[in-house]
C-alpha cells in the first residue's frame, strides 16, 4: 500500500496528474504479479479475512489490517515532508469533468499554467 499511495500522491500533484489512474493500475498489477507471488499476501484485507474465517485460523491476521494503514500513512508522511515528490498538493480530485467543476482556486487541471508553476515549486 505504501508504493501505491506514493504513486498516487506524486502523480496527482504533478503535471502528469491525468495519468494517475493508469499508473495506479500498473502499480497494482505489478504488486500482484511480483509481491503477492513472493509473499502470498493480498492487497485487500478482506481477501485475507475470508479464508481465515472459513478455516478459523487467525494467526498473523492483524498484519493484513495494520500494514495497509501504516503503509499509506507513511507514504503520505514522506510526501508531506518532501522526501518524495513536492510535498505540496493543489487539487484533491482525481477525475475532473466539465459538469462538476473543481472548487480549488488553483486547480492545475483547469488551468495548465498552475500545473507548471506548481511542478516548478512556485505555487501553493
Q: pLDDT tens for residues 70-121? A: 999 999 999 988 888 877 776 666 666 667 667 666 665 555 455 555 555 5
Domain assignment present for residue 99? The answer is: yes
Domain assignment present for residue 23? The answer is: yes
Residue 113 is predicted with a pLDDT of 53
Domain assignment present for residue 75? The answer is: yes
Q: What is the dihedral of CA 76, 78, 83, 86, to 10 degrees?
A: 10
Structural domain count of the chain: 1
Q: Are 117 and 123 in contact (CB under 8 A)?
A: yes
Q: What's this model's pTM, rounded to 2 decimal places?
A: 0.68
Domain assignment present for residue 124? The answer is: no
124 — pLDDT class (breaks 50, 70, 90)? very low
Residue 118 is predicted with a pLDDT of 52
Sequence-distant (≥ 6) Cβ neighbours of residue 106 within 8 angstroms: 90, 91, 114, 118, 123, 124
How many helices (H) and strands (E) in the chain? 6, 0
Q: Give residue 65's domain range.
A: 2-119
Average pLDDT over residues 119-124: 51
Residue 96 is predicted with a pLDDT of 64
Domain assignment present for residue 11? The answer is: yes
Q: pLDDT tens for residues 1-59? A: 899 999 998 888 777 877 888 999 999 998 888 877 776 667 777 878 888 889 888 88
Backbone angles phi, psi at 84, to 5 degrees: -130, 130
Amino acid at each position: 500500500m505504501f508504493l501505491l499511495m506514493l504513486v498516487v500522491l506524486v502523480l496527482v500533484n504533478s503535471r502528469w496528474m491525468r495519468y494517475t489512474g493508469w499508473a495506479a493500475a500498473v502499480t497494482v498489477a505489478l504488486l500482484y504479479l511480483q509481491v503477492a507471488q513472493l509473499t502470498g499476501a493480498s492487497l485487500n484485507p478482506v481477501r485475507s479475512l475470508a479464508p481465515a474465517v472459513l478455516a478459523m485460523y487467525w494467526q498473523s491476521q492483524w498484519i493484513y489490517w495494520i500494514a495497509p494503514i501504516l503503509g499509506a500513512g507513511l507514504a503520505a508522511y514522506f510526501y508531506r515532508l518532501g522526501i518524495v515528490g513536492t510535498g505540496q498538493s493543489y487539487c484533491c480530485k482525481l477525475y475532473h469533468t466539465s459538469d462538476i467543476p473543481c472548487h480549488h482556486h488553483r486547480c492545475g487541471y483547469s488551468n495548465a499554467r498552475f500545473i507548471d508553476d506548481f511542478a516548478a515549486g512556485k505555487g501553493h
